Amino acid sequence: MTQQERAQPDGIADQTGVNGVKDERLGILARRRIEAEIIKPIYEILKRDFGTERAQAVIAEAVRGAAIDAGQQFAAREPNGTSIASFVALQVLWEKDDALDVETLRADDEAYDYNVHRCAYAEMYHAMGLGEIGHLLSCARDAEFISGYDPRVELTRTSTIMQGGKRCDFRYRMRDAKPAGPAAEHGDE
């Protein structure tokens, strides 16, 4: 089994199929589009019947649970257990289909730091008229996913493109890791 196949508990990446023929499966960006098309009318009904605040709370709760479950599913497929390195290897799945323009600042056993300078997820949610909940549909998944994938890793993020920032600043750390040095801060404003 390849790293990419292990990383795909729900079949969303390219895998070699019968007789070596490439099986083109959905990338995460395409999957999020399909999910958003289903969620959009549900969200509109929830807003109409219960108000925006309650509608967003329901969406947030559902997405949070799904993200933790997905992290646990990915972790279960790691033959040598989870680590920062195994998590870094998964990032290609979120970047598929030119979804993200990423600048990696640090990737080692203790930390994975990167900035996203262009986010097709944010572009897509805004184009679909879901900008007000795009952060719930994608951004809010990140911390929940990592808690399901490896509870020893934590995410700190102070800015997202989805919510108007110039970039998304991802800072993953092993909970017992040393503080980041100047190299990890490169690119911060």
Supply the pLDDT for residue 26. Answer: 78
* Neighbour count for residue 44 (Cβ, 10 Å): 12
pLDDT of 45 strictly over 90: yes
Quickly list DSSP for 53-73: HHHHHHHHHHHHHHHHHHHHH
CA distance 69 to 145: 8
CATH architecture of 3-185: 2-Layer Sandwich (3.30)
Give per-residue pLDDT as tens, 166-177.
Answer: 999 999 999 875
The residue behind tokens 């009904």 is 45
pTM of the model: 0.80
Q: Domain spans of the chain?
A: 3-185
